[in-house]
């Protein structure tokens, strides 16, 4: 640039700049900074973030740019972000392990519940009922009833198995509606159901079993034309006499046989 004193030209001032030193990133960037006089040279193909240099009072055509190198950028990213990446990987692995154990526990509980329940009615099956009776605390009296749908084969033969399934579901629904929260019901196969009750008054337990049987019969026409009846055997023992599911079931099943062979549509206590 010219240097004047007053209006007299004293000479020219020239400034040499060491581009290499000025543009040295000292390893803080993956790529390199460059500068080029675009009036004589073109920008490289990997030039990014171009900035035309403008100095007041000086006419120039230099452009500052960043040279992008994918391989170097990738390597630099892993070098500078290695600690952050380690944390991310740790969190990811930890999350996967936690989710794995949660899913395993959920699946375990699901299959455990599935193994203890009848898929059609949602009631317990024999296995589930046995498991329940092993853990439940009985009151003074324990009652176990075995209910069986009368003439169920005729319902299947006359109306089809689809209607038969509706009848089974209807019985399950009515049992669920008409027992207490402390009572438990199970479907143990085909058209046979078991109800467990416990209480301190034997007469009330008998009344409760009768209420369930009567409710099923009274609403049976909702499930099949002309309705149906149901028979049952009920075994009621004191807590000290209770000998487990198999003993109670056998006694109640024998009384169910009596109900079936003496007219049906009734309970035998």
Residue 112's pLDDT band, with cuts at 50, 70 and 90, is low
Contact 35, 63 (CB under 8 A): yes
Both 238 and 130 in one domain: the answer is yes
Both 164 and 211 in one domain: the answer is yes
Both 42 and 164 in one domain: the answer is no
Residue 109's pLDDT band, with cuts at 50, 70 and 90, is low
The answer to the question of residue 221 being in a domain is yes
Both 156 and 251 in one domain: the answer is yes
Both 156 and 234 in one domain: the answer is yes
Name the token pair of 31: 């790529």
Both 112 and 130 in one domain: the answer is no
Both 43 and 69 in one domain: the answer is yes
Q: Cite the DSSP H helix spans in the chain.
A: 19-22, 70-80, 82-116, 126-135, 152-159, 161-178, 202-218, 245-261
Q: Which of 248, 250, 150, 152 is nearest to 205 (CA)?
A: 248
Reported as a single tens digit per residue, the pLDDT across 153-201 is 999 999 999 999 999 999 999 999 999 999 999 999 889 999 999 999 9
With H, G, I as helix, E, B as strand and everything else as coil, classify residue 244.
Answer: coil
Both 106 and 140 in one domain: the answer is no
- For residue 182, what is the DSSP state? T
- The C-alpha angle 197, 201, 207, rounded to 5 degrees, equals 65
The answer to the question of residue 17 being in a domain is yes
| Residue 28 predicted with pLDDT over 60 | yes
Q: How does DSSP assign 121-166, residue by residue?
A: T-SB-HHHHHHHHHHPPP-SEEEEEEEEETTHHHHHHHH-HHHHHH
- Whole-model pTM: value is 0.60
The catalytic position among 191, 192, 241, 242 is 191
Residues spanned by the domain of 105 = 85-116
The answer to the question of residue 121 being in a domain is no
The answer to the question of residue 184 being in a domain is yes
Both 42 and 103 in one domain: the answer is no
The answer to the question of residue 80 being in a domain is no
| Residue 110 predicted with pLDDT over 70 | no
Contact 23, 36 (CB under 8 A): no
Is 191 a catalytic site residue?
yes
- The C-alpha angle 214, 226, 177, rounded to 5 degrees, equals 35
Q: What is the count of structural domains for the chain?
A: 3
């Amino acid at each position: 640039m010219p240097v004047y004193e007053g209006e007299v030209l004293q000479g020219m001032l020239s400034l040499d700049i060491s581009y290499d030193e000025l543009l040295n990133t000292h390893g803080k960037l993956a790529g390199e900074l460059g500068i080029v006089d675009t009036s004589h040279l073109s920008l490289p193909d990997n030039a990014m973030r171009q900035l035309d240099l403008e100095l007041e009072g000086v006419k120039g055509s230099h452009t500052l740019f960043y040279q992008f190198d994918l391989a170097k950028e990738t390597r630099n990213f892993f070098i500078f972000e290695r600690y952050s990446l380690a944390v991310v990987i740790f969190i990811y692995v930890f999350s996967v392990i936690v989710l794995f154990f949660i899913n395993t526990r959920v699946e375990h509980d699901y299959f455990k519940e599935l193994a203890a329940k009848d898929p059609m009615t949602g009631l317990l099956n024999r296995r589930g009922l046995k498991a329940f009776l092993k853990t439940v605390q009985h009151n003074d009296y324990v009652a176990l009833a075995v209910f069986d749908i009368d003439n169920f084969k005729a319902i299947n033969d006359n109306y089809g198995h689809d209607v038969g399934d509706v009848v089974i579901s209807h019985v399950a629904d009515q049992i669920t509606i008409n027992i207490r929260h402390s009572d438990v019901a199970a479907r143990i196969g085909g058209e046979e159901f078991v109800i467990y009750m416990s209480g301190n008054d034997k007469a009330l337990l008998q009344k409760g079993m009768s209420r369930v049987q009567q409710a099923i019969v009274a609403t049976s026409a909702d499930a099949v034309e002309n309705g149906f009846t149901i028979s049952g055997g009920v075994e009621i023992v004191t807590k000290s006499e209770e000998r487990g599911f198999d003993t109670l079931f056998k006694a109640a099943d024998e009384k169910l046989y009596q109900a079936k062979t003496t007219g049906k549509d009734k309970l035998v206590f």
